[in-house]
Amino acid sequence: MVAKDTVFTKKKTLNCRGKLLDLSTPLVMGILNLTPDSFYDGGELNTIDAAITKCAKMLNDGVAIIDVGAYSSRPGAEDISEEEELKRLLPYLKELVTSFPDAVFSVDTFRANVALKAIENGAAIINDISGQPHPQPLSKGEGSRASMFELVADLGVPYVLMHIKGTPQTMQQNLQEGKMLNEVMFYFSERLNKLHRLGLNDIILDPGFGFGKTLEQNYELLREFEHFRIFDKPLLAGISRKSMINKVLGTKPENALNGTTVLNTLLLEKGANILRVHDVKETVEAVKLVQRLNSVPL
């Protein structure tokens, strides 16, 4: 367990299009899914007005970052084309940025071209599940484009680096038993070295709960979460309503709010700086209570 007098004290900021986000107090990242097949709220936001309404509620509830995604990363999700991802994303993103000019939007994508267009249309952070440092292929033999690492370094935008084994289509197939912490630590170390050499410093680390891990490995990473502080980077955790909760409690995603809040509270105590969630109000309350607890003089 991280000492109570150190969890919230270290000063960190993220430069999001000129707006500094202060991470000395943990922040809440709200999920805004534009996909028809996400595991919890797929298809919920089928109009721009519905997305604007949900965004307004999250902002009212105290969200700091709104994470917009147009490609489902649930296990076994359909692998849609880049064109389809952009078709889903850009009309919504443009309207959201216009409607909420002071809000900070991140975009959940692993494609460099989608990331570029998102930043050009008002996004401030790239949340990349792939952690892929290599150039990505264009369609059918057109060569390759700059890697995501090169792109975010050129743009100078905050970047979420997540650990994953496989892809959303394959990550829960043929899972390997065994300890996971050292593998994730090496993964972060190797990729941080590449990103630093490219000149990017605003990097957020996400161990990728549920992305190619067994149930035991997910709980190992949660138990050992404070070890990721060694990298001196903001830490993001995304466990909201996931199967690592439901498999233990025998619940479904729609009944997993209580379990989510319990685990998010533990992650706050272990040093999480950003919690990525479906339920903003409840998570903001958890942050306030843990912060209050840790402010009590010893």
Q: Clarify whether 276 is annotated catalytic.
A: yes
Q: Clarify whether 145 is annotated catalytic.
A: no
**Burial, 43: exposed, middle or buried (Cβ in 10 Å; 0-12, 13-18, 19+)?**
exposed
Considering Cα of 167, then 200, then 20, then 4, what sign does the dihedral take? Answer: positive
Sequence-separated (6 or more) residues with CB below 8 Å from residue 59: 66, 100, 103
The catalytically annotated residue of 117, 191, 233, 276 is 276
Instruction: Kindly state the tokens that stand for 130.
Output: 């792939």
The catalytically annotated residue of 233, 242, 252, 281 is 242
Element counts in the chain: helices (H) and strands (E): 9, 10
Instruction: Give the number of other CB atoms < 10 A from CB of residue 126.
Output: 26
Which H helix or E strand runs over 161? Answer: strand 159-162
Amino acid at 148: M
**Burial, 180: exposed, middle or buried (Cβ in 10 Å; 0-12, 13-18, 19+)?**
buried
Sequence-separated (6 or more) residues with CB below 8 Å from residue 262: none
Active site residue ranges: 242, 276
